[in-house]
């Protein structure tokens, strides 16, 4: 591996579903790596055993793969810097924590929960920052050994030196400064022997040769602790980039209370992966122009961390829906056919036995009128079954006294067509309207109602051509008997 190879990682916890914010973090890491011809690594941070959800790792991987963000290294993929599950790296963390203890950079803490609660309450009353008071730092080696030999429960804490300025550069936010007095002696190893996120993440990022840590804004306050660990180990720091928050329309933090936040929810609702990725990419980044439609390859070529904004990005569902429609129109009819057949198999028309040619005609006729594949069924069920009722409003407005006679004459004439075409149907309709000295709408509107039961849809000649003469005649006859 070249020293200059860019290596980034996405490191989610397997706590259930993949959050839409997590997908954006993964996407920006992926785009940055691919733009720089680097590596995108997936690491699973599963050291919080209380929050671990069975099957979540497999779900995370399949969701990322669905989105087109396949890792170069990680669980299921392998790589030179594994294991990529933190729960399989405990020996590595134990080896590194020992070095910190030996150097006085971390220490054993034997405080009970009761003492910690009392300390916190006391600090709250005195309106001072709640943080650990280094009580256990005063124990001698003999006292520590004695407590360990007696199996007294402990955690291991970071020894933060007081009143030190901690500086780091953020690619998105510039120079960030903290005073060490505001930083708690963070727990590095928990009482169950597992490392905390803060410790494991720094050790892993160093050993996996991560060059850039790209993550959400909520991690900025933790970064000084990570910087201290890099410095205590005398390791080179990676470059940091903290992404803006995702916001609801009211500018509150994106949450499940106001809408779907799981990627799986959007998958189930029929959003195309290309549209979702396009939309997520624009939540906090732009290439410095007004371009809004992107493929994944175009995003890869255009992406840079310098194009990421500092301010929060509003999640606009209308824009996502618009992008979904745009991407759907740019997919070939043959690809849509595969997706449509899958939707039909899950719908009440699962026994539908129409030909591929029939479905392709529907796709072509409805392409400009749908935003989702499922709308090829929902917006035009009349292609899959005859109408059982007729829209009341349309009947009152469009069904005139002469409608039955016009439809009867039209039926008789199309029945005579030997090789029906759209143009043939159009000629017959126009000629009939000329003879009767009426506008085309006088016949088109009741004809549409008879064929579909509704007042909107594709062009009338597309509609009649797709249904065919025989089916159209049946439907006109049924409408003449039912509509009074």
Q: Cα separation of 137 and 167, whole Å? A: 25
pLDDT score for 51: 80
Instruction: Specify the 3-state DSSP secondary structure of 366.
Output: helix
Residue 210 pLDDT more than 80?
yes
pLDDT score for 297: 97
Tokens representing residue 187 in the block: 């727990």
Residue 463 in contact with residue 448, Cβ under 8 Å? yes
Residue 348 pLDDT more than 60?
yes
Residues of 42-69 as b/e, b for ≥16 C-beta within 10 angstroms? bbbbbbbeeebeeebbebbbebbeebeb
pLDDT score for 256: 64
Percent of the chain having pLDDT more than 70? 99
pLDDT band at 484 (very low <50, low <70, confident <90, very high): confident
SS3 labels along 391-408: CHHHHHHHCCCCHHHHHH
Instruction: Specify the 3-state DSSP secondary structure of 379.
Output: coil
Backbone phi and psi for residue 216, each to the nearest 5 degrees, phi listed first? -70, 155
Mean pLDDT of the region 96-114:
97
Give me the half-sphere count of Cα atoms (radius 13 Å) on the Cβ side of residue 352. Answer: 23
Nearest Cα neighbor of 315 from 241, 236, 253, 395 is 253
Average pLDDT, the chain: 95
What H or E segment, with its residue span, contains residue 466?
A: helix 460-467
Give this prediction's pTM: 0.92
pLDDT score for 3: 59
| Range from 15-19, 224-228, 241-245, 258-262 carrying the lowest mean pLDDT | 258-262
Catalytic residue ranges: 256
Q: pLDDT tens across 15-38, in order?
A: 888 999 999 999 999 999 999 999
Nearest Cα neighbor of 164 from 225, 80, 88, 96 is 225
Q: Cα separation of 239 and 449, whole Å? A: 64
pLDDT band at 105 (very low <50, low <70, confident <90, very high): very high
Mean pLDDT of the region 243-266:
84
pLDDT score for 48: 81
- Sole residue written with tokens 């030997």: 418
Q: Tell me how crowded residue 416 is: count the other CB atoms within 10 A of its CB.
A: 8
Tokens representing residue 181 in the block: 């007095």
Q: Cα separation of 34 and 295, whole Å? A: 14
Nearest Cα neighbor of 447 from 91, 128, 437, 430 is 430
Percent of the chain having pLDDT more than 90? 92
- The phi-psi region of residue 386 (left if phi > 0; otherwise alpha if psi is between -120 and 50; otherwise beta) is beta
Q: pLDDT tens across 129-176, in order?
A: 999 999 999 999 999 999 999 999 999 999 999 999 999 999 999 999
pLDDT score for 16: 81
CATH no. of 90-243: 3.40.50.620
Q: Cα separation of 194 and 47, whole Å? A: 6
CATH of 392-482, one of 1.10.10.350, 3.40.50.410, 3.40.50.1000, 3.40.50.300: 1.10.10.350
Q: Who contacts 50 (Cβ-Cβ below 8 Å, separation ≥6)?
A: none
Residue 50 pLDDT more than 80?
no
pLDDT score for 2: 46
Q: Is the dihedral of CA 211, 217, 218, 222 positive or negative?
A: positive
Length of the chain, please? 484
Q: Cα separation of 369 and 137, whole Å? A: 69
Q: Cα separation of 152 and 211, whole Å? A: 39
Q: Cα separation of 174 and 241, whole Å? A: 9
Tokens representing residue 111 in the block: 């405080």
Nearest Cα neighbor of 189 from 271, 101, 259, 311 is 101
Give me the half-sphere count of Cα atoms (radius 13 Å) on the Cβ side of residue 442. Answer: 19
Q: pLDDT tens across 388-412, in order?
A: 999 999 999 999 999 999 999 999 9
Nearest Cα neighbor of 381 from 416, 412, 348 is 348
Residue 108 in contact with residue 154, Cβ under 8 Å? yes
Q: Cα separation of 285 and 244, whole Å? A: 9
Residue 370 in contact with residue 378, Cβ under 8 Å? no
pLDDT score for 1: 40
Tokens representing residue 288 in the block: 């410095």
Q: Tell me how crowded residue 335 is: count the other CB atoms within 10 A of its CB.
A: 12
Output Rg (C-alpha) for the chain, integer angstroms: 32
Instruction: Specify the 3-state DSSP secondary structure of 149.
Output: helix
Q: Who contacts 1 (Cβ-Cβ below 8 Å, separation ≥6)?
A: 80, 209
pLDDT band at 313 (very low <50, low <70, confident <90, very high): very high
């Amino acid at each position: 591996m070249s020293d200059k190879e860019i290596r980034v990682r996405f490191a989610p916890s397997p706590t259930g579903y993949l959050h839409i914010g997590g997908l954006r973090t993964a996407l920006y890491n992926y785009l940055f790596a691919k733009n720089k011809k680097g590596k995108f690594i997936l690491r699973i941070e599963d050291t919080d055993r209380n929050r671990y959800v069975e099957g979540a790792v497999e779900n995370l991987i399949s969701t990322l793969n669905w989105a087109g963000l396949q890792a170069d290294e990680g669980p299921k993929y392998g790589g030179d810097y594994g294991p990529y599950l933190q729960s399989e790296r405990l020996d590595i963390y134990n080896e590194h924590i020992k070095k910190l203890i030996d150097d006085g950079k971390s220490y054993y803490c034997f405080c009970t929960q009761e003492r910690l609660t009392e300390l916190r309450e006391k600090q709250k009353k005195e309106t001072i920052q709640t943080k650990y008071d280094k009580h256990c730092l005063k124990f001698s080696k003999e006292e520590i050994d004695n407590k360990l030999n007696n199996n007294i429960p402990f955690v291991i804490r970071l020894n933060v030196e007081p009143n030190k300025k901690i500086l780091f550069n953020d690619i998105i936010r510039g120079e960030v400064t903290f005073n060490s007095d505001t930083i708690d002696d963070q727990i590095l190893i928990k009482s169950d022997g597992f490392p905390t996120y803060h410790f494991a993440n720094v050790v892993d990022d160093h050993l996996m040769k991560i060059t850039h840590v790209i993550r959400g804004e909520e991690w900025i306050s933790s970064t000084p602790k990570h910087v201290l660990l890099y410095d205590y180990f005398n390791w080179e720091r990676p470059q940091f980039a903290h992404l803006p928050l995702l916001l609801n329309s009211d500018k509150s933090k994106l949450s499940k209370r106001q809408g779907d936040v799981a990627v799986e929810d959007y998958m189930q609702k029929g959003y195309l992966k290309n549209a979702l990725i396009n939309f997520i990419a624009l939540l906090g980044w732009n290439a410095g122009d007004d371009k809004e439609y992107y493929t994944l390859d175009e995003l890869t070529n255009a992406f840079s961390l310098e194009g990421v904004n500092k301010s929060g990005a509003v999640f606009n569902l209308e824009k996502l829906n618009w992008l979904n429609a745009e991407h759907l129109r740019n997919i070939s009819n043959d690809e849509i056919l595969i997706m449509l057949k899958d939707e039909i198999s899950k719908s009440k028309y699962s026994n539908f036995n129409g030909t591929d040619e029939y479905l392709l005609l529907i796709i072509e006729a409805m392409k400009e009128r749908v935003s989702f594949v499922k709308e090829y069924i929902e917006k035009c069920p009349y292609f899959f079954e005859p109408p059982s009722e007729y829209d009341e409003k349309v009947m009152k407005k469009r069904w005139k006294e002469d409608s039955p006679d016009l439809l009867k004459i039209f039926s008789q004439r199309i029945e005579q067509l030997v090789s029906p075409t759209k143009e043939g149907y159009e000629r017959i309709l126009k000629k009939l309207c000329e003879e009767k000295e009426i506008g085309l709408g006088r016949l088109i509107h009741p004809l549409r109602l008879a064929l579909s039961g509704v007042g909107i849809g594709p062009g009338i000649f597309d509609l009649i051509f797709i249904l065919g003469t025989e089916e159209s005649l049946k439907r006109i006859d049924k409408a003449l008997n039912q509509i009074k």
